[in-house]
Amino acid sequence: MKNKPLAFQIWVVISGILLTISIVLIILFSNTLRSFFTNEIYKNIENEQQVLTEYPLNRDGSPKSTPENRSVQHILIPSDELNQMAQFFPHAFIEKVQSFVKKQKSATKRYSEEVNGQHIFFVIKKVSTGNTQYILLSYAPDSYRDDLSFTLFKQLIFILGTVILLSWIPSIWLARYLSRPIVAFEKHVKRIAQEDWDDPVIVDRQDEIGKLGHTIEEMRQKLIQKDETERTLLQNISHDLKTPVMVIRGYTQSIKDGIFPKGDLEQTVEVIEGEAEKLEKKIKDLLYLTKLDYLSKQHPAHSPFLVSNTMLEVVDRLRWSKNELQWNVDLDDEAALEGDPEQWSKLFENVLENQLRYAKNKIDIHMKQEEDQIRIVIRNDGPPIEEHMLSSLYEPFSKGKKGEFGIGLSIVKRILSMHQASISIENDELGVRYTITVPKKRL
């Protein structure tokens, strides 16, 4: 069943529900009709017995004065002469009646039995006249109930059959109506799986199927955006890595030819070494960015650590690269976070390397512990950042004022996102200010 088309499955389910309801209705209606008509027959017999109290019977059961003849028959016999009913009923039935009379406690009671192959309903009523006790047996055949029930039953089957047949047409339409957009979405998803995502998913409804279509369209747009980002990233990586490789190859070839572009061998080798260090750092950053992509999908293993210790380790490691800079460091020694110390060390390293690249005379680091967060402000007195660059600083290989490509701030942004923290970079009157805000309580 589950391997059949969805339209067929919907139609089968709807048809099955209608058929099940029809069968249940037929069974319930049939039993209800039979119960209703049975009760009506007994009421008719009892009403006839009530009428007979106004028109007395002879001993042979014939009324002395009767109203119009009815379908109910009556026999009035003394309770000790029930065998006289032999002229009306077989001996086996008379014995049952005698047993019923002996057991009957109430004045009137209803019964039903098979007599000569015919089902009859009868009521035994005990009647006392003077010193003699009589038995009034009133009975009616079952043919009336069966005939009427069968007639109504046939009508019900006809009506339900007509309803089922007429409902098949709208059920087929409904099945196709519900399955048509799903089939269309399946074709779109198949094309997207084959990286053919040029055609948009058009959705003209707002129900659950419409929400599915909007989700598929959103996925298509994100895949297009991701594909464009990956292409741009590969182009930037190729361009960024190509430059130091070209410099290294050019300088090494010059040395082989006995030429020293920087005047002597030592200075020329220093250029090669510097370009190799740049190349190594870019490769490490790329690998680390890939590592962060993997870690962002895993359950992070965080541990508490002192922010000041991590920051001071990074500052001590980088301060020698520009000895002429003045470092003003004001940290809260008790500020602690729960996170990955290695990632925070990388974050501070990338931020401070960016500060070193643009600072003229000094770098200020100030950390303040607030009630629910820790605020870290890092400022350098270098030139302001171009306004059009402020919105794209965190994009990989964004080109800065000095023509530097890098992914340092992209790594910073990714680490902060993993720690539910944020960063803002702004120009102020003293230079460029980096503000990192970290919540103390982590989810």
CATH classification at residue 287: 1.10.287.130
CATH classification at residue 361: 3.30.565.10
**Into how many domains does the chain fold?**
3
63 and 179 co-located in one domain: yes
Backbone angles phi, psi at 419, to 5 degrees: -105, 15
- List the chain residues with pLDDT less than 70: 1-9, 11, 53-70, 130, 143-149, 233, 236-237, 239-240, 296-300, 391-392, 394-406, 441-443
Residue 88 lies in a domain: yes
DSSP 8-state secondary structure symbol assigned to residue 57:
B
Query: Of 155, 174, 196, which closes a domain?
Result: 196
Please tell me the predicted confidence (pLDDT) of residue 188: 83
Please tell me the predicted confidence (pLDDT) of residue 400: 53
78 and 216 co-located in one domain: no
First-to-last alpha carbon distance for the chain, in angstroms, is 45
Please tell me the predicted confidence (pLDDT) of residue 233: 67
> Beta strands 336-339 and 303-306: pairing type?
antiparallel
279 and 334 co-located in one domain: no
Backbone angles phi, psi at 307, to 5 degrees: -65, -40
330 and 417 co-located in one domain: yes
Residue 201 lies in a domain: no
CA distances from 121 to 46, 270, 272, 354, 382 (A): 11, 121, 117, 105, 112
Angle between helices 408-418 and 265-295 (to 10 degrees): 30
Residue 433 lies in a domain: yes
Handedness of CA 341, 345, 350, 355 (dihedral sign): positive
288 and 304 co-located in one domain: no
4 and 94 co-located in one domain: yes
Please tell me the predicted confidence (pLDDT) of residue 437: 92
The closest alpha carbon to 325, from 355, 369, 368, 285, belongs to: 355
Contacts for 390 with CB less than 8 Å, ≥ 6 apart? 425, 426, 427
Residues 267/260, Cβ–Cβ less than 8 Å? yes
24 and 170 co-located in one domain: yes
Tell me the residue range of the domain where 172 lies: 1-196
Please tell me the predicted confidence (pLDDT) of residue 69: 43
Backbone angles phi, psi at 218, to 5 degrees: -65, -40
Residue 338 lies in a domain: yes
424 and 404 co-located in one domain: yes
Residue 203 lies in a domain: no
Give the integer Cα–Cα distance in Å for 145 and 222: 72
Backbone angles phi, psi at 25, to 5 degrees: -65, -40
Give the integer Cα–Cα distance in Å for 416 and 437: 9
Name the β-bridge partners of 378.
365, 434
254 and 230 co-located in one domain: yes
Residues in the chain: 443
Residue 362 lies in a domain: yes
172 and 115 co-located in one domain: yes
Residue 163 lies in a domain: yes
249 and 180 co-located in one domain: no
Please tell me the predicted confidence (pLDDT) of residue 5: 66
Q: How far, in whole angstroms, is CA 335 from its chain's centroid? A: 42
Query: Of 257, 275, 294, which closes a domain?
Result: 294
User: Rounded to two decimals, what is the model's pTM?
Assistant: 0.48
Token pair of 438, please?
A: 């970290």
Q: Exposed, middle or buried, 428 (CB in 10 Å: 0-12/13-18/19+)?
A: exposed
Predicted confidence (pLDDT) per residue in 42-68, tens digit: 888 888 888 776 665 554 444 444 444
Query: Of 294, 317, 341, which closes a domain?
Result: 294
Predicted confidence (pLDDT) per residue in 386-414, tens digit: 877 776 676 655 555 554 545 778 888 88
Residue 202 lies in a domain: no
Give the integer Cα–Cα distance in Å for 337 and 367: 13
38 and 146 co-located in one domain: yes
Please tell me the predicted confidence (pLDDT) of residue 363: 92
